[in-house]
Amino acid sequence: MPGWEAIIGLEVHARLLTRTKLFCACETAFGAPANTRVCPVCLGYPGALPVLNEAAVELAAGVALATGCAVHQESVFARKNYFYPDLPKGYQISQFDRPLATGGYLDITTREGARRVRIHRIHIEEDAGKLIHDATGGASQDTSLVDLNRAGTPLIEIVSDPDLRSSEEALAYLTRLRQVVMYCDACDGNMEEGSLRCDANVSVRRDGEPLGTRSEVKNLNSFRFLAKAVDFEIERQIALLETGGTVVQETRLFDPATGETRAMRSKEEAHDYRYLPEPDLPPLVVSAAALDRVKARLPEMPAPRAERYRRDYGLSLEDSETLVATRELAEYFERTLAAAASPRAAANWVRNEVVGLCNQKKTPLSSFLVTPGMLGELIRMIDSGEISGKAAKDAFEEMADSGEAPHAIVERRGLSQLSDPEAIREIVERVVASNDAQVALYRAGKTGLFGHFVGQVMKASRGRANPEIANRLLREILDRDGS
């Protein structure tokens, strides 16, 4: 809205892909029967002591490095105290004034242009359990059940600075962040199952004014909900301020059914939680050597990778971004390219045909039967004129069904392209000779009939005639004999 600016910051919780919980040896397996992945530590029994999971620290440090953060040699765990039935200890072990990492960034590009979004901090914390309301199917609506399987599973919280200015930018940032945690193998990125959860802090101000009061919208578990919630909040706050009202600092919930947010509780301040250093855990020390090991294992991240595709292969912004969407797809593309030589062709085939057919067959790329080597071979056969683009698509579909090599399919089905000019000339002459009426019309000026002749030649050659040669010969014969 003209005259107004929206200020948005995101807090993203990512569940770390460790085998066991953050402070005990319980498995983190999703979907296990309720309360079967629990022990005295994650149930908060008195006297049970936490032991930090090193794998969680490595994954968290990986994400911190991948987002350009400084990973602090020493960070401190703290107790965040609050009462809720899904929190058996009465406090959550988190990090407060000395987080694992600070000062990173992610670059995003939207229609509004490029923007660097600063990352304020990344800290490690444990998740709470899960409350299941009305699990009895209505028989007893005042009953809630508690499942503590999730209690104590490791999370990182990634807090951005309030650098985003629209829901579109918020989506671009979350998309990139999700890619990064997945590239790092730190999180599976599954928003539906709650592996990645997002809270949005939203405020508005008139151009040039200081920051306004913000509201926090909790637990946005899909990209669509994030966009809707942010847009709703921006409009709600502007309408409120324009009619003389004031924005209250509060926590709000997004209702997917109505697309609206509603007040949940007044926003708590840090002092409400009575943070105190966790006495049962020593400060977390990450050595430079450990950090080097983590760094050495990180793959090339999506942003520099997409930039490299644009710079070295001349791909468009859209193509390069599509190809880096997942690490698996990017690696598939690069291996195809290694076997095919033509970046543009490899990009088109992977982006359109491979992604399209995987979606259509509901097959994950990892079990797609066409390997990058096979696709590269197919592309080389098109480049050398051995087969037409159309025949290649037919062969490709068969490769995806059978896993057979392209040359074997082309040979067996006689798909190889006819590129011998003399053989094609024979077909063209036959077509011209047996279409007297159309030939006369064409020569009288109805040149739109040209496509009809091309179709006839392709039909007569069973789709195998090299279209370039066929076109050239057709023109030559039709035009020459007519004059």
Give the rounded distance of the alpha carbon of 188 from its chain centre: 10
| Nearest one of 23, 45, 146 to 94, comparing CA atoms | 23
Minimal distance in Å, beta carbon 203 to Zn ion? 39
Of 39 and 52, the one with the shorter C-beta distance to Zn ion is 39
Beta bridge partners of 79: 93, 276
Minimal distance in Å, beta carbon 32 to Zn ion? 12
Minimal distance in Å, beta carbon 38 to Zn ion? 6
Of 51 and 440, the one with the shorter C-beta distance to Zn ion is 51
| Nearest one of 414, 416, 419 to 381, comparing CA atoms | 416
Residues in the chain: 483
Of 45 and 361, the one with the shorter C-beta distance to Zn ion is 45
Minimal distance in Å, beta carbon 374 to Zn ion? 46
Minimal distance in Å, beta carbon 152 to Zn ion? 6
Minimal distance in Å, beta carbon 90 to Zn ion? 17
Minimal distance in Å, beta carbon 27 to Zn ion? 9
Of 39 and 339, the one with the shorter C-beta distance to Zn ion is 39
Of 26 and 76, the one with the shorter C-beta distance to Zn ion is 26
Of 35 and 416, the one with the shorter C-beta distance to Zn ion is 35
Spatial contact of 106 and 303, defined as CB atoms under 8 Å apart: yes
Minimal distance in Å, beta carbon 20 to Zn ion? 8
Of 150 and 197, the one with the shorter C-beta distance to Zn ion is 150
Token code pair at residue 37: 């992945």
Of 27 and 426, the one with the shorter C-beta distance to Zn ion is 27
Of 26 and 204, the one with the shorter C-beta distance to Zn ion is 26
Of 44 and 421, the one with the shorter C-beta distance to Zn ion is 44
d(CA 94, CA 223): 26
Angle between helices 421-433 and 467-482 (to 10 degrees): 50
Of 87 and 184, the one with the shorter C-beta distance to Zn ion is 87
Token code pair at residue 22: 């953050």
| Nearest one of 121, 118, 16 to 70, comparing CA atoms | 121
Positive or negative, the Cα torsion across 108, 57, 65, 184?
A: negative
Of 35 and 219, the one with the shorter C-beta distance to Zn ion is 35
Q: Which residues bind Zn ion (CB under 5 A)?
A: 24, 26, 39, 41-42
Q: Are strands 91-95 and 77-81 parallel, antiparallel or unpaired?
A: antiparallel
Minimal distance in Å, beta carbon 19 to Zn ion? 13
Minimal distance in Å, beta carbon 283 to Zn ion? 23
Minimal distance in Å, beta carbon 92 to Zn ion? 15
| Nearest one of 276, 274, 281, 275 to 48, comparing CA atoms | 281
Minimal distance in Å, beta carbon 147 to Zn ion? 13
